[in-house]
Amino acid sequence: MFNKLTSSEGGRGLLLISPPFFYALLLMAFPLGAIILFSFWTQDFMDVDTTFTLNNYRQIIEQPIYGALLQRSLFVSAVVTMVTVLLAFPIAYFVSFHVRPDRKSLWLFLITIPFWTSYLIRVFLWKVILGYNGVINTGLLNIGLIDEPLTFILYNINAVIITLAHAFAPFAILPIFVALEKIDRSLLEASRDLGENKVMTFFRVTLPLAMPGVVAAVLIVFIPTIGDYVTPELMGGAGGKLIANMIQTQFLALNNAPLGAALAVVAMLSVTAISLVFILLNRRWLRGRS
């Protein structure tokens, strides 16, 4: 059996990827299975009752705070994704179409510079920028545009959205750039030769061909932002907490890991359902244009 696998190119490739595949599967499947299993148990302080029950999910449905936090988390993730992708596309387009080939690597290098610093440090820097006596308020006061510091840019949902959009911007720029680089430039020239202007060429040729990168950017940004609890904790204030903060509270502060696990399962199912719907709608849109 081993000789048959190694005799073909496909078999050798399968042997090469099998160890890391099963290693990654173990690292993902075991924690996920533990979370799902925990969600059907109950806990009284330090005592865990392994009797199967749906009380955790019933509690999530009956208590409106959990639904409100989940809705707020989905809303924040959607807004962050929209803002990030809308800002990332022009940057990726500029680097792909208007930067000389020998300088594209430099631009990509500059885009990835934020990764050089800790995520936590970047969040604290935004606190300095958006704070009551921060850079923005001090600058606006000095030039006379405002009479008192702005209070709506920190410790609320706005601050969470701004910080997350900045943190995940490189994750959106890179896949869009890769998709734009794969576009055959002769297709754009053919569109212009057939009488289309630059705007219609963009919407009829460039954007549809770049959609795989856009879809990847949307998923890369949307999925992790709903599970981010550091930014809401530091930037959101009392009214900016998300479902991830409640999960963290259940696990670490209230010693109710089963309820926290159930909240995590509900959040994962919600994100999965929305992501699948988005992918299906995108495929239908692309088929409608073809």
Any idea where the domains of the chain sit in the sequence?
66-286
Predicted pLDDT at 183: 92
Selection from 287, 258, 193 nearest residue 55 by Cα: 258
Radius of gyration of the chain from Cα atoms?
A: 24
The tokens 């705007």 sit on which residue? 199
pLDDT tens over the chain, length 290 residues: 545 545 566 666 677 777 887 887 888 888 889 999 999 999 887 788 889 999 999 999 999 999 999 999 999 999 999 999 999 999 999 999 999 999 999 999 999 888 888 888 988 899 889 888 888 888 888 888 888 888 888 888 999 999 999 999 999 999 999 999 999 989 888 888 888 888 889 988 899 899 999 999 999 999 999 989 899 999 988 778 899 999 999 998 888 999 999 999 999 999 999 999 988 888 887 777 66
Give me the phi and psi of 51, to 5 degrees please: -70, 130
Q: pLDDT of 171-185, one tens digit each?
A: 999 999 999 999 998
pLDDT recorded at residue 8: 61
Report which secondary-structure segment, H or E, holds 49.
strand 47-49
Which numeric CATH code is attached to 66-286?
1.10.3720.10
Q: How high is the pLDDT of residue 3?
A: 54
* pLDDT for residue 282: 82
Give the per-residue pLDDT at 9.
62
